[in-house]
Amino acid sequence: MVDVVWLIPALPLAGFLFILLFGRKAGDPGAGYIATAACGAAFAVTVAVFVDMLSKNPEQRTSVVTLYRWVPVGSLQVDLAFLVDPLSITMCLFVTGIGALIHLYAVGYMHGDPRFSKFFLYLNLFILSMLMLVLGENLLVTFLGWEGVGTCSYLLIAFWHQRNSAATAGKKAFVTNRVGDWGFMMAMFLAFQAAGTLSYTGLNGVAEAGGLAGSTATAITLLLFVGACGKSAQLPLYLWLPDAMEGPTPVSALIHAATMVTAGVFLMTRMNPLVHEAYTWAPTLIAIVGVVTALFAATIAVAQNDIKKVLAYSTVSQLGYMFLAVGSGAYVAAIFHMVTHAFFKALLFLGSGSVIHGMHHEQDMRRMGALRKLMPITAFTFIIGWLAIAGVPPFAGFWSKDDILMYAFAKSPVLWVLGIITAILTAYYMTRQVIMVFYGKARWEDAHADNGAHGDFEPHESPKIMLIPLVVLAGLSIVGGVLLLPFRKSFELLDIWLEPVVHPGQTDIIGTWAYDNKYLLMGITVVCALVGIAGAYMVYAKHKAKAFEPRLLEQGWYYDQTVSAFMGGPGRQAFDGVAWFDANVVDGAVNGTGHVVRGVGDELRKTQTGNVRNYAAAIVVGVVALLTWFVIFRGIL
């Protein structure tokens, strides 16, 4: 059964090729159904492989399916192979599952768009790349998928490329990702040089056996983390994600909520034995960056007015939580949060897309309100997503967030405090969003009256094809917590499932204060969530307190502007300097060699006078020299 794992990426590839050739003919909605079918079939195959894996013993669940030798160059032997183990199958399940749901949603959302089939072409290509990333047996196949999803995110963010802002956002995403890719590539080079192999089993094996120097492992870890920062939008390189909201909402849901941004977390988890071998300040650094990003993004989300921008910053914040988990050695918690986040964030994005669709592409929350009665199903599912992300039990988000905070406390109480503050802010801004969109006064009527727009404008519920995924995701957000319930060891299903993959790097916190008092910590988390909700309720529903939305936060602490100023100013000068160096010194050396050769040739050319007598003279000089050599030096005399 494991042998058919190649079908999992092959089906979206087939969908891609089919739509490439026949997409225009299939049209709207034919191309969409084909893409959805491809993704759904991949999900079915994944489920089959998963079920088969469940029936095996835990030690036998890891296998490698090699397709062929991809790079046979001297000592670099890289196969195109898939590593089928609990981690990759878990990732595949939710990539294909949520991917299929989003494909279905997009059939309804993109209806009427002139480039309908091209959208699904890119979506299938994205799913293919993500599956290659996740199933890859070595860093190179993962990198192939990594680059693929980067390219697809560019193509999809800039899908409505006639809009300047969309085209710019696409470029920004690609370029920022590229900076991260540099880190990935350097890590690959270093890993190959240190261990002679790029495969995960090889590298992790060498690391576990102690074959890597601590400095090497640290360097590789940090370089991979640079790559992860780019892809998963952590602090220095997060600025592409809010702008990426220019893309259609299904794109935001798929790429920026559920799948692509999680690639960084997946990579760190995959390399956990290597991270374990690094100096301890490296994971601490990862945890600090994660929690600071989480807090930073949460503060910005508090002041955003675009419905999608709030969710974008929320994504950055939740990704920060995942890296906090990775840095604290809680890989299972990170994956758990990744899964639950996929559920509720996709739900929230799709829900916001439904709102936007129903509001005829209005995205400013200040012009929404009181939509609950007009879009009941959207509202209901959105509220479930809200409860999940705010961390209200028994919804999925509570369990995963709490698990992370527990490990964070075990690492350092300071990290836990920052995490708790972020949790409060998360609850606060999500409640703010729910109230502004679905409750309160129907501000869209005023706006409409001011605009004097077209005819009778009434926000309406979205078509059924868009609502089905919402309902499914809502259900998953409710029950998702089942994967890891902390009450009893046997309830920690995800922990048991992923144990063979993460056990080298997973921190054992049994016996720490955090573990012993986990119910206390759980209670504090619940209280914080309720505090956040209550606070937002006071400000936005009851208007008892003034709304705190300073310009600083709305502009994202001016981080974006700072980066632009730097890149345009001193950055540009540095780049120009490097370019000058390349053109003059490097090229100059190469061209200079040519000039020198030509100069010497020009001088030597003068000996070719064409005159026989000069040649005769030269010959005779040679003869005399030879004679001199033989007669005088070789000693006839």
Binding site for other proteins (CB under 8 A): 605-614, 616-617, 620-621, 623-624, 627-628, 630-631, 636-637
Token code pair at residue 609:
């006078």
Whether 287 and 408 have beta carbons less than 8 Å apart is answered as: yes
What is the DSSP code (8-state) at residue 462?
Answer: P
Output 482 or 627, the one with its CB closest to other proteins. Answer: 627
What is the nearest approach in angstroms of other proteins to the Cβ of residue 634? Answer: 10
Output 54 or 600, the one with its CB closest to other proteins. Answer: 600
Output 454 or 605, the one with its CB closest to other proteins. Answer: 605
**Closest Cα to residue 245, out of 116, 356, 140, 117?**
356
What is the nearest approach in angstroms of other proteins to the Cβ of residue 632? Answer: 8
Q: Give the C-alpha separation, 385 to 412, whole Å.
A: 30
Q: Give the C-alpha separation, 228 to 133, whole Å.
A: 13
Output 596 or 631, the one with its CB closest to other proteins. Answer: 631
Query: Is the peptide bond between 394 and the residue preceding it cis, with omega within 30 degrees of 0?
Result: yes
Output 593 or 614, the one with its CB closest to other proteins. Answer: 614
- Helix-then-strand count for the chain, H and E: 27, 2
What is the nearest approach in angstroms of other proteins to the Cβ of residue 598? Answer: 14
Q: Give the C-alpha separation, 536 to 142, whole Å.
A: 42
Q: Count the Cβ atoms, other than its own, within 10 Å of residue 99.
A: 30
Whether 150 and 255 have beta carbons less than 8 Å apart is answered as: no
Output 545 or 624, the one with its CB closest to other proteins. Answer: 624
Output 590 or 637, the one with its CB closest to other proteins. Answer: 637
**Closest Cα to residue 155, out of 147, 144, 226?**
147
What is the nearest approach in angstroms of other proteins to the Cβ of residue 614? Answer: 7
What is the nearest approach in angstroms of other proteins to the Cβ of residue 597? Answer: 16
What is the nearest approach in angstroms of other proteins to the Cβ of residue 624? Answer: 5
What is the nearest approach in angstroms of other proteins to the Cβ of residue 601? Answer: 10
What is the nearest approach in angstroms of other proteins to the Cβ of residue 600? Answer: 13
Whether 360 and 366 have beta carbons less than 8 Å apart is answered as: no
Output 55 or 608, the one with its CB closest to other proteins. Answer: 608
What is the nearest approach in angstroms of other proteins to the Cβ of residue 622? Answer: 10
Rg of the chain taking only CA atoms, in angstroms: 30
What is the DSSP code (8-state) at residue 591?
Answer: H
Whether 259 and 226 have beta carbons less than 8 Å apart is answered as: no
Q: Give the C-alpha separation, 328 to 64, whole Å.
A: 29
Output 546 or 605, the one with its CB closest to other proteins. Answer: 605
**Closest Cα to residue 501, out of 152, 83, 125?**
83
